[in-house]
Amino acid sequence: MDWSLVFGNAAAELISPTTAAYALAAIGLAVHFGYTGLLNFGQAAFMAIGAYGFAVSVLNFGLSFWQAIAVSMILSVLFALILGIPTLRLRSDYLAIVTIAAAEILRYVVSTTSLKDLTGGSSGLSGFATEFYAINPFPTGNYLFWPFDVTEKELWVRVFGWSIVALATILVLLMMRSPWGRVVKGIREDEDAVRSLGKNVYAYKMQSLILGGALGTLAGIVFVLPRAVQPGNYVTGLTFFIWTIMLLGGAATVFGPIVGSMIFWVLLSLTEGVLQGLVNMGVITFLSTDQIGPVRFILIGLGLMALVVFRPQGIFGNKKELQFNV
């Protein structure tokens, strides 16, 4: 059993593009829930819009890399409007119900056989990232050092993904420190009070839904760049992983989701590696190697429960500002 491999794999998750994608989606969710108080349970749908909007634009309509991103963003805004127009005037619970349903509808639509020519049906899409790798500025070779050693392609997708995370962080920080951020935080606390002070609460909630959704869409694009688009990835479980990450780091923080995503992926990799090692060495006899996958999620779930009990504001959160109390 090579323990350095286990720890190396876990450490590599710190900068993996998947970690970046989940961090980005969680920043979007922090805009929704942590700052504005919107209960969005459909962040997976915004990610799916990024993935499919991008891949379909490239594969079926021959659009360039940047055009495909623009199309995804437009679709994301439209989706936010469709979700928001009927629900944002109602109590916050309705948004939760509508988003979770809309996310499932979207997943069923993209995996249906009648749309196979467009979305690839249940087998999904691949081969859409050719142009992305063609514009890779890094020459062929190996980069960085153990355990982060990567090829030029892997480096490019990491640099791209984390740059977007950095830009999103700056954007959200600026927004939340502005008077606009003050109004949305006020809405989180009590929307009637904010309304009584002459603010158009509905418009602010819509703007917040669009902003956080757009970050989710970018996350969807970053997520699929190093892999194929698979409809099975956009299940409700994805949304709940994003929620876990956001709460882990602190809902009303910008850096929280990033660190939350790192911890989440490192722990998943570490528990898998360690459990696998222990089973192979015969230390753990009551588990088979196929059972390890689900067991690590049980462990993560226990960890989240402990977090909610002992540190409800998340790792970076201010206990006075926001607790896990919805």
Euclidean distance between CA atoms 201 and 66, whole angstroms: 33
Residues 237-256 within binding reach of another protein (CB under 8 A) = none
User: Whose Cβ is closer to another protein: residue 171's or residue 295's?
Assistant: 171
Residues from 201 through 220 that contact another protein (CB under 8 A) = 201, 207
**Candidate segments 60-68, 122-130, 199-207, 260-268, binder of another protein by CB under 8 A:** 199-207
Residue 59 backbone phi and psi in degrees, to 5: -75, -45
- For the CA atoms of 190, 195, 200, 201, the dihedral, rounded to the nearest 10 degrees, stands at 20
* Binding flag, residue 85, another protein (CB under 8 A): no
The verdict on 311 binding another protein (CB under 8 A) reads: no
Nearer to another protein, 207 or 269 (CB): 207
Element (DSSP H or E) covering residue 18: helix 17-29
CB closer to another protein, 236 vs 323: 323
Angle, helix 201-224 to helix 43-61, in steps of 10 degrees: 60
Nearer to another protein, 2 or 192 (CB): 192
137 binds another protein, rule: CB under 8 A: no
Quick one: tokens of 46? 């915004």
Nearer to another protein, 35 or 46 (CB): 35
2 binds another protein (CB under 8 A): no
302 binds another protein (CB under 8 A): no
State the greatest distance between any 2 C-alpha atoms of the chain, in Å, as a whole number: 67
Dump strand ranges (E) for the chain. Answer: 142-143, 150-151
Strand partners, 150: 143
Comparison of 165 and 172: residue with beta carbon closer to another protein: 172
For residue 198, the tally of other CB atoms under 10 A from its CB is 6
By CB under 8 A, name the one of 77, 94, 195, 312 that touches another protein: 195
Cα–Cα distance for residue pair 179/187, rounded to 1 Å: 13
H/E element holding 308? helix 292-310
Select the residue interacting with another protein from 85, 90, 166, 197 (CB under 8 A): 197
Q: How far apart are the first and last CA of the chain?
A: 44
Q: Which residues within the stretch 172-191 sit at the binding site for another protein (CB under 8 A)?
A: 174-175, 178-183, 185-186, 188-190
- Please identify which residue in 127, 134, 145, 192 interacts with another protein, judged by CB under 8 A: 192
DSSP, collapsed to helix, strand or coil, labels residue 127 as coil
Residue 166 binding another protein, by CB under 8 A: no
> Where along the sequence are the contacts to another protein (CB under 8 A)?
171, 174-175, 178-183, 185-186, 188-190, 192-201, 207, 320-322
